[in-house]
Structure 1
């Protein structure tokens, strides 16, 4: 993934964009042209993207806003504290959201990457 992306963003994109899925492959081609425009201020790691759409083709996700990839997060003890969602807008990467379902477990993109690696 793109070196200039923050590590937590690049790692989670790598984990949720399956190389066997044609839509995900098309989205992976957009990553080298992707930058983070803004981050959520709560500390969760949610990232809003900027993408030069003149340099890449849109992925076949359909029109409008679409959840193009998602993954439930499972801890080492089997708890599900949240999920990550990757949104596209008209086939272009738009934002990566980390959602917390727990008041007891801190859910961030870095934690999400760890859980995705231990429980793919």
Structure 2
């Protein structure tokens, strides 16, 4: 079952997709039509998207899967245990992935949100 776009996903997309990049602007225009079709079961916050591609234009990111935006995730003490990435496939938002580089620190979308607010 598809759910509406949760606020944590919307906030991270807003922080990662800046207003100065034409690809990011085109991807931002897709967000109102975006829905979460699933989430990773480990609790990291990774979200998979469903998008009505008839209602939006593709971003000029190319005919393949690309990392459209990314940011490193930092803890309160300045460690960098992972990153958050936005993927586009054929110009359409596809998924938001939270990646961990460490087994010592739990890397989540909530931690990414706190990092991106700084």
> In structure 2, how many angstroms separate the alpha carbons of the residues matched to 1:98 and 1:87?
11
Deviation at 1:75, TM superposition (A): 2.2
Q: Extract unaligned runs of 5+ from structure 2.
A: none
- Aligned partner of 2:75 in structure 1 is 75
Q: Residue 94 of structure 2 corresponds to which residue in structure 1? A: 94
Q: Which residue of 2 aligns with 1:35?
A: 35
Other-structure match for 2:58: 58
Q: Which stretches of structure 1, 4 residues or more, deviate above 2 A after TM superposition? A: none
TM-score by length of 1: 0.92
Q: Could you say which residue in structure 2 is the equivalent of 1:109?
A: 109
TM score, norm. by length of structure 2: 0.93
Task: State the alpha-carbon separation in 2 of the partners of residues 51 and 111 from structure 1.
Answer: 26
Work out the CA distance in 2 between the residues paired with 1:93 and 1:110.
20
In the alignment of these two chains, the number of paired residues is: 115
Match of 1:48 in 2: 48
CA RMSD of aligned residues (A): 0.9
